[in-house]
């Protein structure tokens, strides 16, 4: 997911996407713990997507908009 897609979404959509990504991150951690994780690069992708969404949400809440 790139920043243009994230910035195009509303705050409610971003919060929903964040919830989905946090659940996906949890599932990947459980797979890693049980040795069933076949694509370890997915953990990095999810972690970075979470950071991107949190960054945009913080910009929206601080009134920064598009900085």
pLDDT tens per residue across span 18-56 = 999 999 999 999 999 999 999 999 999 999 999 999 999
Q: Is the pLDDT of residue 64 over 80?
A: no
The pLDDT value given to residue 65: 63
- Residue 66 counted as domain residue: no
10 — phi, psi (to 5°)? -80, 170
- Residue 67 counted as domain residue: no
- Here the CATH number for the domain that contains residue 39 is 1.10.287.310
The pLDDT value given to residue 60: 93
The pLDDT value given to residue 63: 86
- Residue 8 counted as domain residue: yes
pTM over 0.85: yes
- Residue 7 counted as domain residue: yes
Domain residues for the domain of 44 are: 3-61
Number of domains in the chain: 1
Query: Distance (Å, rounded) from C-alpha 50 to C-alpha 20?
Result: 10
Residue 39, classified by CB atoms within 10 Å of its CB into exposed (0-12), middle (13-18) or buried (19+), is exposed
| Closest listed residue to residue 19, CA positions, set 55, 59, 58, 46 | 46
């Amino acid at each position: 997911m790139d920043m243009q897609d994230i910035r195009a979404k509303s705050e409610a959509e971003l919060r929903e996407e964040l919830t989905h990504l946090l659940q996906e991150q949890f599932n990947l951690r459980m797979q890693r713990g049980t040795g069933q994780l076949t694509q370890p690069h997915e953990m990095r992708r999810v972690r970075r997507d979470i950071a991107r969404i949190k960054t945009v949400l913080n910009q929206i809440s601080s009134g920064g908009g598009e900085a």
